């Protein structure tokens, strides 16, 4: 079975010869300590390469400038002009190569939301599939090309508001949140239908559901703000014969059925305590025959554990979720991320890959 076929079967919930094995690829930039891990997966792992599905969609013009903040950060001020007035957001950008931090957001209340809703809808340029075809050809039998649809409606609106403002608005002015969600859903559907009409697919990804999960939001919000607006997108993909991958951290135990209900085909990750609240065995009980699980070795373990311990965790994961020989892509819960420690993590990644390759069910 080729690596491409193995992933196809995983996405389509068909029987596999063994689990797939994969790593997300958000490596620290320009860090050669991760070269051995890259080579390991290039030779033995099931591969995915992302392709931007929103690239033919225009974006609002945002002006920006920077101003001093501290010895470690500068403030980036972003200005979005709308027909009903100006919106501003700010972000703290590190002066020393560290992660930045969103400080304020474009939409802080109902008045801001109404300004944002006054923006004209995007314009779309003709879909040029030459880049997609080149990516598929380059991938060959090693894996698949994943067409990214970006944030789901819930995630996009939550990011526009910030988690605190979104939570407050979900109590004070829920109707305007629904208007924002409807707008984003329609934009995503338009982009998606244009891609499908051009023959692009069948593998798609969308993310952002993790903004609206426990403990900040309960199951009702998850269904109102995620499932309600995701399902029409998933339905269009499925009607075209495609499949959908979702990335969602946090405690999903109370809402995992929602992922199945909205039509997710592959879910990454599904974290046990203390990072999450669901075991692999319990996740499989909900997902069985309907949704493939991708994960689920905690990323910190790749830097802290011993190879033997990782091999044992992978073996237990396979035992708990692959008894039907379907629906498992073994992976860490996130990309390798600690700068300069790729050599330290390599033995753990090697143990993960070898345990999968040597599995005999």
pLDDT tens, position by position, 9-66: 999 999 999 999 999 999 998 999 999 999 999 999 999 999 999 999 999 999 999 9
Are 180 and 287 in a shared domain?
Answer: yes
Are 143 and 159 in a shared domain?
Answer: yes
Are 201 and 70 in a shared domain?
Answer: no
Looking at the domain assignment, is residue 116 inside a domain? no
Looking at the domain assignment, is residue 114 inside a domain? no
Looking at the domain assignment, is residue 240 inside a domain? yes
For residue 81, the model assigns a pLDDT of: 97
For residue 361, the model assigns a pLDDT of: 82
Burial of 177 (0-12, 13-18, 19+ CB in 10 A): buried
Which helix H or strand E contains 289, and what residues bound it?
none
CB-hemisphere CA count at 13 Å for 328?
27
For residue 96, the model assigns a pLDDT of: 84
With a cut of 80, say whether residue 86 has pLDDT above it.
yes
With a cut of 90, say whether residue 284 has pLDDT above it.
yes
Q: Are 159 and 211 in contact (CB under 8 A)?
A: yes
What rounded mean pLDDT belongs to the chain? 96
Are 282 and 312 in a shared domain?
Answer: yes
Are 151 and 17 in a shared domain?
Answer: yes
Give the whole-number percent of the chain exceeding pLDDT 90: 97
For residue 98, the model assigns a pLDDT of: 79
Are 65 and 200 in a shared domain?
Answer: no
* Alpha helices (H) along the chain: 3-11, 35-44, 110-117, 130-139, 153-161, 163-172, 174-197, 219-221, 228-239, 256-262, 280-287, 301-304, 307-321, 342-357
Are 272 and 133 in a shared domain?
Answer: yes
Domain count, the chain: 2
Radius of gyration, alpha carbons of the chain: 21
Q: Are 256 and 293 in contact (CB under 8 A)?
A: no
For residue 162, the model assigns a pLDDT of: 96
With a cut of 80, say whether residue 97 has pLDDT above it.
no
Q: What is the mean pLDDT of residues 203-213?
A: 97
Are 203 and 324 in a shared domain?
Answer: yes
Candidates 121, 235, 124; CA nearest to 186 is: 121
Residue where a domain terminates, one of 75, 106, 137: 106
Are 277 and 312 in a shared domain?
Answer: yes
Give the whole-number percent of the chain exceeding pLDDT 70: 100
Are 208 and 278 in a shared domain?
Answer: yes
For residue 99, the model assigns a pLDDT of: 81
Are 344 and 217 in a shared domain?
Answer: yes
Looking at the domain assignment, is residue 113 inside a domain? no
SS3 string of 217-249? Answer: CCHHHHHHHHHHHHHHHHHHHHHCCCEEEEECC
Check which CATH number belongs to the domain holding 310 and give it.
3.20.20.210
Looking at the domain assignment, is residue 350 inside a domain? yes
For residue 139, the model assigns a pLDDT of: 98
Which domain does 84 fall in, by range? 60-106
pLDDT digit string, tens, across residues 301-357: 999 999 999 999 999 999 999 999 999 999 999 999 999 999 999 999 999 999 999
Residue where a domain terminates, one of 80, 106, 132: 106
Q: Are 200 and 53 in contact (CB under 8 A)?
A: yes
Looking at the domain assignment, is residue 37 inside a domain? yes
Looking at the domain assignment, is residue 284 inside a domain? yes
pLDDT digit string, tens, across residues 156-167: 999 999 999 999
pLDDT digit string, tens, across residues 226-261: 999 999 999 999 999 999 999 999 999 999 999 999
Are 353 and 248 in a shared domain?
Answer: yes
To which residue do tokens 């339905």 refer?
Answer: 235
Looking at the domain assignment, is residue 111 inside a domain? no
Q: Which residues contact 219 (CB under 8 A, 6 or more apart)?
A: 254, 255, 258
CA distance 208 to 184: 13
């Amino acid at each position: 079975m080729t690596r491409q076929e193995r992933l196809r079967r995983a996405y389509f919930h068909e029987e596999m010869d063994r689990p797939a094995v994969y790593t997300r690829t958000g490596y620290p930039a320009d860090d050669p300590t991760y070269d051995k891990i890259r080579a390991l997966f290039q030779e033995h792992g099931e591969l995915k390469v992302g392709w931007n599905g929103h690239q033919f969609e225009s974006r609002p013009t945002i002006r920006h400038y920077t101003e001093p903040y501290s010895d470690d950060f500068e403030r980036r001020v972003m200005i979005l002009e709308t027909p009903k007035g100006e919106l501003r957001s700010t972000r703290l950008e590190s002066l020393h190569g560290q992660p930045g931090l969103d400080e304020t957001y474009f939409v802080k209340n109902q008045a801001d939301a109404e300004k944002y809703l006054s923006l004209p809808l995007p314009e779309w340029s003709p879909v040029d599939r030459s880049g997609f075809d080149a990516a598929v050809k380059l991938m060959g039998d090693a894996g698949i090309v994943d067409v990214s649809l970006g944030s789901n409606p819930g995630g996009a609106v939550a990011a526009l508001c910030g988690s605190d403002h979104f939570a407050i608005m979900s109590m004070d002015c829920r109707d305007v949140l629904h208007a924002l969600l409807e707008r984003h859903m329609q934009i995503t559907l338009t982009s998606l239908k244009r891609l499908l009409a051009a023959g692009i697919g069948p593998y798609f990804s969308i993310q952002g559901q993790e903004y609206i999960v426990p403990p900040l939001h309960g199951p009702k919000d998850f269904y109102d703000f995620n499932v309600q607006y995701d399902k029409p997108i998933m339905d269009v993909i499925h009607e075209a014969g495609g499949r959908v991958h979702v990335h969602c951290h946090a405690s999903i135990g109370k809402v995992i059925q929602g992922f199945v209900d909205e039509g997710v085909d592959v879910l990454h990750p599904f974290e046990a305590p203390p990072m999450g609240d669901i075991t692999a065995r319990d996740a499989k009980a909900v997902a069985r025959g309907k949704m493939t699980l991708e994960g689920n070795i905690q990323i910190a373990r790749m830097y802290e554990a011993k190879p033997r311990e990782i091999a044992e965790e992978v073996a237990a994961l396979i035992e708990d979720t692959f008894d039907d020989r379907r629906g498992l892509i073994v992976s860490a819960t996130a990309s390798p991320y600690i700068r300069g420690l790729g050599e330290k993590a390599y033995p753990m990644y090697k143990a993960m890959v070898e345990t999968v390759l040597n599995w005999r069910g």
